[in-house]
A = this chain, B = another copy of it.
Amino acid sequence: MARRPKAVELPPLGRLDRSAGNLVRQLSVLLREAVQRGDLKAGELLPSSRLLAQALQLSRGTVTEAFSQLIAEGVLDTQPGGGTYIARTLPAPPPRARQKPSRTTAAPPAMTARAARFADIARSMHPLPHVPFAVSVPVGLAAPDDVWRRLGNKVRARGPGAPASYSDPQGAPELREAIADYVRRARSVHCTAAQVIVTSGTQQGLFLACQVLLDSGDAAWIEEPGYRGLTAILENIDALGEIAQVPVDDEGLDVSAGIRAARHARVAFVTPSHQYPLGMPLSMARRNALLAWAQQQAWIVEDDYDSELRYAGHPFPALQGMAPERVIYLGTFSKILFPSLRLGYAIVPPGLEQAFVGARILMDRHPPTADQHVLAAFMQEGHLDRHIRRLRNLYAERREQITGLLQRHIRPHLAWLQPSDQGAHVVLLLAEGIDDGEVVRMALARGVSVRPLSTMYAAGQARAGLVLGLADFPYAQLEEAVKVLARVIRQCAQTSRPTPA
């Protein structure tokens, strides 16, 4: 490769903005862009730093510093005996680099099939606006009181709640102890802190369970209707053998139907305390049948997302207590504290802890540390128990108000309540022929947030209905929202000519 004896005439480099400061960087950018555009070519000798400094009215130091930077980057090179030239190892720039980057016409790589599914999920699972009947909106007395904030300020000031390095991927030991105490006491869960994995909420618990418990070709049971956030995970595990959608009836999951559909499934995902979304508990007979089936070869994932919120009797004991070596128990603080905290937990059978921890390390390494310590202190000092008692009374009252309003304002042949005495939501079933998706869209346009029931079924067998969350909105606002909903349902019914069930 021949060396050019004379330095090139510099092409126009573009403007230096002397008022913006950092002329070294500005000059580096201009030179680099000239190379990328192809205005300066591999092997071309640059003018000396002295000449260039003169031409651009810069200090010589500025030019030599920019040269050093570009030499370090491999854009420029020096030759023995002096002289700085455009690096010879530069290949011709790719066609698009000759244009402004954003104007390239090369088509991007095709979207993967998975990417397209994820984009659908983003559309269907976006959070609802914080108005009735979004679920778990910490407004009014449903928000944790000032103790939460003051305790947080204290815990973050020093000690393990202060800024720290990478921490325990299983979760802060103090919080795991507090959670183990809580679930043993409140939910009859059998466990030690060593079995507790702190998660970012139930969603991460489900994701981890899918990753750890399922291998290529394995089948899984899920409830139908069921939680879309679970179905969507399973649909994206390429190698999954089969998803068996198992129907629920008045006693919860129909275990016999599950066995008929996929006897050899490796995992059953259930919501035994309060079926999501319909609300019935799994009966004792079904619990026994499920455990008897699982004894053969299967794990059970118990999603216990809102059992604390029971308004008659005390909460059902967890299924986990009947078979701690078979059940992965998932809990969350989203419903009993607030969702934006993003903390929950998985309680896993002995022997599975490290597998869950490893899977979690690959997802996000560990949960943020500070709030874990705030929550541990909040629990240890008894504030969580008090908050749950308050929430239970509050939601019982709001629930009564909302169901009363629905019964008063919505005609009983168009919509009726699904019975349930637990949880942070109620389900309003719609008469046949009413499109719940249309109701949801129209209600949202009028400032009312509800979720459609039909999307929680596999295609083709769906019941229409609405999922309404409880939160401490003022009565007048709830009444207004129910009236809006009543109008929307009436309108949709007129379009569709519903058949009463």
In the assembled complex, which residues on chain B have CB atoms less than 8 Å from the CB atom of A188? 29
Q: Is A301 an interface residue (CB 8 A)?
A: no
Q: Does residue A201 face the partner (Cβ distance < 8 Å to B)?
A: yes
The answer to whether the Cβ of A109 comes within 8 Å of any Cβ in the partner chain is yes
With known contacts A156-B152, A218-B112, A324-B101, A127–B167 Cβ distance under 8 A: yes
Cα A201 to Cα B360 in complex, Å, equals 13
Residue A258 CB within 8 A of the other chain: no
Q: Is A339 an interface residue (CB 8 A)?
A: yes
B residues within 8 A CB of A125?
169, 358, 361
B337 touches A163 (CB 8 A): yes
* Interface mask (A313-330 → B, CB under 8 Å = 1, otherwise 0): 110110001111110000
Please tell me if the beta carbons of A363 and B114 are within 8 angstroms of each other in the complex.
no
Q: Which of the residues B113, B285, B322, B357 comes within 8 Å of A74, measured between beta carbons? A: B285
Interface size on A, residues (CB 8 A): 148
Contact check: which of B25, B144, B316 meets A73 at CB < 8 Å? Answer: B316
With A and B bound together, what is the CA distance between A312 and B365 in angstroms? Answer: 31
Partner of A163, one of B104, B169, B341: B341
Interface contact A325-B102, CB-CB below 8 Å: yes
Known: A119-B358, A165-B340, A166-B136. A90 touches B285 (CB 8 A): yes
Tell me which of A232-240, A407-415, A429-437, A478-486 binds B: A232-240
A65 within 8 A of B: yes
> Does any Cβ of B come within 8 Å of A168's Cβ?
yes
Cβ contacts under 8 Å, A352 to chain B: 111, 115
Contacting B at CB under 8 A, from A133-148, are 134-138, 143-144, 148
State whether the Cβ of A362 lies closer than 8 Å to any Cβ in chain B.
yes
Q: Would you call A72 an interface residue if the criterion is a C-beta within 8 Å of the partner chain's C-beta atoms?
A: yes
Copies per complex?
A: 2
A249 within 8 A of B: no
Residue of A127, A152, A321 with most chain B CB atoms under a 10 A cut-off: A127
Contact of A164 among B237, B339, B357 (CB under 8 A): B339
Contact B109 A69 (CB under 8 A): no
Q: Is A257 an interface residue (CB 8 A)?
A: no
Chain B residues closer than 8 Å to A190, beta-carbon distance: 101-102
A163: chain B residues at CB < 8 Å are 138, 143-144, 148, 337-338, 340-341
Query: What are 13 residue pairs bridging A and B, where the CB atoms are less than 8 Å apart in the complex?
Result: A32-B317, A73-B316, A94-B288, A101-B190, A108-B325, A108-B326, A118-B212, A118-B359, A120-B358, A136-B165, A149-B156, A238-B239, A239-B239
Apart from A74-B286, A136-B165, A203-B364, list 18 A-B contacts with CB within 8 A.
A22-B314, A73-B284, A75-B284, A92-B288, A108-B325, A108-B326, A112-B215, A113-B215, A127-B165, A130-B164, A134-B166, A165-B340, A200-B365, A203-B361, A204-B363, A211-B236, A342-B367, A342-B368
